[in-house]
Chain A
Amino acid sequence: MNLLLEAIHEAWSLIFSGDREIFDITFRTLLIAGTSTTISLIIGLPLGIGLALMRFPGRSWLVSLSNAGTGMPPVVAGLFVSILLWRSGPLGSLGLIYSPIAIIIAQVVIATPLIIAITIAAVMSLNPVIHLQIRAMGANQIQYVFLIAREARIPLLVAVMAGFGAVVSEVGASLMVGGNLSGETRVLTTAAVLEVSKGRFGTALAYGLILIFFVIIIAAILTNLQQRSQRK
């Protein structure tokens, strides 16, 4: 009990002391997670909308694949990207292993299926009459997709939040492909793992509290969005 109280006290002091390293790690975490979420959205949103709206052979197989991808363990994504970027691997010549770009690639692999799956569900949950009405209004393909995405904007925002939440809190892939290098690839989750291994629970808890703060912010935004959609 004493250990926990001491750890909380130390964490609290570290967060409010303006510790440079904590600030750097937090900033890097947000930058990497933000970048990987953005890339995942650029890939996942059009793919998700396309899979929801188009009918072609193999579509249900691709939908199943994206649904299965939502449960992909980050460690497996990390392993896959490690093999790809390893010096002797297919993309080893790029020298990206143990770099922030490697973490971003791994996080994109984790978040993209999640965003695709939520986007498909969001678009398919729209009233089918809305699809018919938009076509009846004379919309061309681009206008149709734009209006459908606009109608599904709240569940699509859930996809954004879920994607960000998944990558900001994962540790396995970041550790495997980033190497947890101080000042380069150390993010909140990997830093917390390192501090625990050293027995510095206060510092680890400080990272954990910052992470929890982001998770709470995401949950609050999600709850707010869900309540807004329920009010309709």
Chain B
Amino acid sequence: MKALTFENISVYRSKRQVLCVPHLEIAVGERLALLGPNGSGKSTLLLVGALLLDISAGSMTLFGEPIVNGRLKILQRRNFATVLQEPALLDMTVERNIDTVLKIHHIPHFERQSRIEGWLSRLGIMHLAKAMPHQLSGGEAQRVAIARAFSTQPRILFLDEPFSSLDPRTRAELSGDLRGLLDSEAVTTLLVTHDLNESKLFSDRVAIMNDGRIAAIGSLEQIEQYPSTPAVSDFLGHTLIKRNQLPNFFADNFSFPDACECISVNPEGVKIISKDYGINPVNSATIHAIQALNGSGRLILNFEGILLVSKIPLEDVTNYVIGSLVKFTVDAHKMSFFRHNKIIIS
């Protein structure tokens, strides 16, 4: 059973196509994460799915029923709950915020009270029931937004970067709690995020979007192994090198398909080594920058003018100094090859 299907969906803004999805299905109980850079169309797709943005062309079904415009669309929207980047609480007490949405959903009074208390308790914010939104911290407000979303017992939950405005600690706490709720409620979920770790935590499947289109869809592991386009590869943080700019080290030590125009190197395939064991070809590069990203470290190596990225354990970042020389090797299995913006071999 499909919870939501999209067929030939197009959205135009000022005569420019901002979304083009030929086909997408989300199964009942599935959790799909939409990843992609800013402006890639992931939030637009979420708004279309949540029936908050009209499509220019195409069709959609909700649990097998076609979605049509008009009054029925508002009723169909009541199958959903949406948590946005900002909590967007109404200017009323926390409990009235939840009560208001339950009234909209025509939940009887006696049940409203038990749902309010139940969800505030589950999110650990029962003590804030009488608080006004301006008295809440960012994390507390987002907890209220999540409680409000779950209180309606949605069949599909839309999460649009719900943790992006929170500090790392609050983000970690809240994402853990939300993961627990999603597991216990088994609600179909569509999540928009920039964060690869967040997508791993919340989704069964990810769709990487670029320029309004789904550039890759599947498990994150699959996509990391076979990035379908250079854009996907770039989003995943791989190094992209044009064939004609390849340093001799690569040309001399690795074989590439003849048709290959562009190579991507997964940061996991660029290993910093202390000794040359003679198994893989080794070369030296200067450390250009050191970064911490998504719970791991990154060394940006300047190798003959090409910036190669090497993934290292976060705790090792202090062992390196910018400007120093390191030896590295590249795993041939962590390279992908592209022609005409399509993967040809991996």
Contacts and interface: CB of A to CB of B under 8 A. Distances in A.
Asked whether A and B interact, the reply is yes
Interface of A: 127, 129-130, 132-140, 143, 147, 150-151, 231-232
Interface in B104-136: 104-105, 132-134
18 contacts: A129-B84, A129-B86, A129-B88, A132-B47, A133-B82, A133-B84, A133-B88, A136-B81, A136-B84, A137-B101, A138-B80, A138-B101, A138-B104, A140-B74, A147-B90, A151-B90, A231-B134, A232-B132
Most buried by A among B50, B91, B92: B91
Interface in B92-106: 92, 100-101, 104-105
Looking at chain B, what size class is its interface with the partner chain? 20 to 34
B52 interface: yes
Given A130-B90, A136-B80, A138-B104, 10 more contacts: A127-B88, A129-B86, A133-B88, A136-B50, A136-B52, A137-B148, A140-B74, A151-B90, A151-B91, A232-B132
Contacts of A132: 47, 52, 84, 88
Contacts of A232: 91, 132-134
B342 interface: no
A228 to B, nearest CB: 11
B77 interface: yes
Interface string B41-73: 000000100101000000000000000000100
The 7 closest A-B pairs by CB, nearest first: A133-B88, A138-B78, A136-B82, A232-B134, A129-B88, A137-B101, A129-B86
B88 A150 contact: no
B63 to A, nearest CB: 16
Name the prevailing secondary structure of the A interface residues.
helix
A147 B132 CA distance: 16
B100 A137 contact: yes
A55 to B, nearest CB: 12
A133 B81 CA distance: 9
Interface of B: 47, 50, 52, 71, 74-75, 77-78, 80-82, 84-86, 88, 90-92, 100-101, 104-105, 132-134, 148, 152, 158
B138 to A, nearest CB: 14
A151 B85 CA distance: 19
Contact of B100 (A130, A136, A147, A231): A147
A232 B74 CA distance: 31
Contacts of B88: 127, 129-130, 132-133
Nearest to A131: B88
Contacts of B50: 136
B84 A143 contact: no
Contacts of B92: 150
Contacts of B52: 132, 135-136
Contacts of A134: 90
A147 B74 CA distance: 16
Most buried by A among B71, B74, B134: B74
Given A137-B104, A138-B104, A231-B134, A150 B90 contact: yes
Contacts of A129: 84-86, 88
Contacts of B132: 232
A183 to B, nearest CB: 47
